[in-house]
Amino acid sequence: MTSPDTIHDLLQLRFDDVPEDKGEVPALWETIAGRQSCRSFTDKPVDPVLLQNLCALALSSPTKSDLQQRDIVIVDDPEKRARIDALFPAMPWMSSAPVFILFCGNNRRLRQVSEAQGVPFANDHLDAFFNAAVDAGIALSAFSLAAEAAGLGTCSISAVRDHIDLFDKMLELPDWVFPIAGMVVGWPARTPRVNIRLPLAATVHTNRYDENVQETAIEAYDKRRAELRPYGSQRDPEQFGEAPLYGWSHDKARQYAVPQRTDFGRYVRRKGFTLE
């Protein structure tokens, strides 16, 4: 058991509006409350046995209808790793991490099982893609928490979808198997700082969806963010100018002013999904 004060301090720092729970709390809460993405790794390798155990923990997570529609691809071939790392010069944490893995949604096995059973697969629609994507995301989250509880650092990498055809080909992903995100894993070179989040007031709803406090909550969050976790630089100042107070909403709006991964739908359809 961990001190509730430690957990509360971490949660309060993150959200600014978490009621204090004075009861005993499990150590896992501290891992979750204190987690953060890691973007700086030592050279120390990750034991392959540890990696397999982390995969087992990740795949112990819940899975829709026990369908198990998610897989992990470990990339430890040095030549493939070098090709992957070279794709991301702006993300030096990729090449510094000893481990790279890819989380995939997998709706293929279910179709194969149906075929082997001689039973028609009657769910060729958007839900087939969605369920596999959600399962893969849940496994990704469980993996990173298990790794962080063991003292490792992780950083998920959705940027793999910027090069989706290349990953698809290099890792020989068949139809109905698609990447949701990569992840780099290693021993942290330094302890990253806990990131802060939107307050619960804006993101936890009771009985009905309620946007009443959203505007003021985002405003307060932007101020906290600028004060406690300022962004290193502002995005696209040439287009948007220099904001006197640059917080989360400014950064995210500017980020999504630029189209990203517009070919993902095409890729997913090419993998065999109808998405209707």
Ligand X SMILES: Cc1cc2nc3c(=O)[nH]c(=O)nc-3n(C[C@H](O)[C@H](O)[C@H](O)COP(=O)(O)O)c2cc1C
Residue 115: HSE in the Cβ half-sphere, 13 Å Cα cutoff: 6
Q: Which of 110, 155, 217, 268 is close enough to bind ligand X by CB under 6 A?
A: 155
- Strand pairing class (99-106; 70-74): antiparallel
Hey, what are 237's tokens?
């100042």
Binding mask 31-50 for ligand X (x = CB under 6 A): -----xx-------------
**60 vs 195, which CB is nearer to ligand X?**
195
240-249 per-residue burial string, b: 16 or more CB within 10 A, e: under 16:
eeebeebbbb
* Smallest distance, ligand X to C-beta of residue 194, A: 7
Binding mask 45-84 for ligand X (x = CB under 6 A): ----------------------------------------
| CA–CA gap between residue 94 and residue 80 (Å, rounded) | 13
142 binds ligand X (CB under 6 A): no
| Residue 99, strand partner residues | 185
* Smallest distance, ligand X to C-beta of residue 182, A: 8
Binding mask 195-234 for ligand X (x = CB under 6 A): x---------------------------------------
| CA–CA gap between residue 28 and residue 226 (Å, rounded) | 29
* Smallest distance, ligand X to C-beta of residue 158, A: 3
Dihedral (Cα; 43, 74, 194, 256), 10-degree rounding? 120
Q: Which of 25, 136, 157, 177 is close enough to bind ligand X by CB under 6 A?
A: 157
* Smallest distance, ligand X to C-beta of residue 238, A: 23
